[in-house]
Amino acid sequence: MAEAGTGFLEQLKSCIVWSWTYLWTLWFFIMLFLVYILRVPLKINDNLTTVSMFLNTLTPKFYVALTGTSSLISGLILVSTTSINITLEFDFDIQNCISGFMQTNRYLFSSSVNSYAPSAASAAGGDADSNRQSVSECKVWRNPLNLFRGAEYNRYTWVTGREPLTYYDMNLSAQDHQTFFTCDTDHLRPADAIMQKAWRERNPQARISAAHEALELNECATAYILLAEEEATTIVEAEKLFKQALKAGEGCYRRSQQLQHHGAQYEAQHRRDTNVLVYIKRRLAMCARKLGRTREAVKMMRDLMKEFPLLSMFNIHENLLEALLELQAYADVQAVLAKYDDISLPKSATICYTAALLKARAVSDKFSPEAASRRGLSTAEMNAVEAIHRAVEFNPHVPKYLLEMKSLILPPEHILKRGDSEAIAYAFFHLQHWKRVEGALNLLHCTWEGTFRMIPYPLEKGHLFYPYPICTETADRELLPSFHEVSVYPKKELPFFILFTAGLCSFTAMLALLTHQFPELMGVFAKAFLSTLFAPLNFVMEKVESILPSSLWHQLTRI
């Protein structure tokens, strides 16, 4: 169906080209016809005086008729081209809806196992069909490398006076916290009941006060998490609070693990305690990475992935990849990619661009575009270029940040895969790794734009991935702050002929109005314009007359 739709679009575009050719040819012959009807002797050997007399005998009605006719033709061309362009975009949308409906089941089945969405966490099993239709391609994911609010985001606000997080992003985080850190039995424990209300508070100070209140009643792991995330102003303070949370969380986890089979309530409580423990250990590993203890962070991440192999919704492997790249342990990075860069698993910019970086590393130090154009690409260079094309097709926004063509901002707490938000989150942490590999950015600079020649119509058909989703711009504008210029792909630009026709129509209409209002002044202007226009031609003709014999020139003028 997609191939048939592509063929139809190609035919439609060829019809547009032929329509343009026909309309412009018609306009040209109409102008020639008007000149023929109102003709006077304007042969080459006539002097400029004859032309001036002809212009002086013309009335304003002639100019109005001439410019009005050209305005009418230009307007018809503008309207027809605009309608065709709108029809073409509408056909794109219809085709995307049809192909997306057929692909959604397979795509969502492979990604729902490893994804997290608040709506999916609270849905009932009997509503599977409605959930399948409600979840769109532009699903928002939790950023696995999200920063600390108190120690990083708030410090940015204190220095610049700008808010790096949007209300929509923080609201999604609040839903995440309620899903991960609360359960139905919290009302039975006073400290957990207070924290259940704290996660719903919009005011940060109210949340922090509630966390302190909960700690006065009991050693509450989620209260320590909130204080570490929002009250701690440095990573060192956050790490201390997370260690206290780990001590309290491990005790709750051991107690709930023994009672998890005694009923549904105990099972829900154990699931909550598991989420809390995994979150704390992951954040402790991130603290160690930020404080320079990278090997310790790698060990903590590996142990966490072995202890809880099924909780891949946290995407801990992306944290592990970034830490291994910092250690320059490229063999270990390749081993992680071999496990997670699988066709059945959902992709990400981290997976695709890290794979491209490893292949580029093998050839980038000796790569030269001049030498490659002379001798052709070797097998290793071809593999590196194909990996870059694959990564760019998945997320075309990343190269502009890696090549520093766009300025970076702090990454949001949630990202949209294949969107600008994911590109910012990836480049913010991985730009240093690309700079460390000699020649990698040069290879990326020389080859990344070639991807767009392989996918000329990315909204209707992809090469290695599904067509690029059309809703990324809207979702990214809600996730990213207003002071950031959102990267848009593909750019929605009007065709040149529409802009040209609109300008031509406006110019001829203005010319007709000025001719009607100021006929004498426009006559002087037209005379001066034609004099200037024909001055080079008259000069050439005088030279030709002086060189050629008079008899030969007489015969040519008669012809």
pLDDT, greater one: 401 or 378: 401
Top mean pLDDT of 251-260, 513-522, 541-550 is at: 251-260
152-161 own/partner pairs: CB under 8 Å, 24+ apart: 152/410, 153/410, 154/230, 154/233, 155/233, 156/410
Mean pLDDT within 105-123 = 35
Cα separation, 261 vs 267, in Å, equals 6
Cα separation, 278 vs 61, in Å, equals 84
Q: Residue 419 pLDDT more than 50?
A: yes
Please check whether residue 386 is in contact with residue 464, taking contact to mean a CB–CB distance below 8 angstroms: no
Mean pLDDT within 324-341 = 92
Cα separation, 243 vs 250, in Å, equals 11
CATH of domain 156-314: 1.25.40
Q: What confidence score (pLDDT) does residue 58 get?
A: 58
Count, in order, helices (H) and strands (E) of the chain. Answer: 26, 2
Helix (H) or strand (E) holding 252: helix 235-259
Residue with the two structure tokens 């969380």: 249
Mean pLDDT within 328-341 = 91
Q: Please give the model's pTM, rounded to 2 decimal places.
A: 0.68
The predicted-structure confidence for 69-80, as pLDDT tens digits, reads as follows: 666 666 666 666
Least confident of 226-240, 275-289, 335-349, 383-397: 335-349
Domain boundaries, the chain: 11-42, 156-314, 342-493, 498-550
pLDDT class for 132, splitting at 50, 70, 90? very low
Q: What confidence score (pLDDT) does residue 559 get?
A: 56
Q: Record the tokens describing residue 439, joined without a space.
A: 């020649």
Mean pLDDT within 515-523 = 76
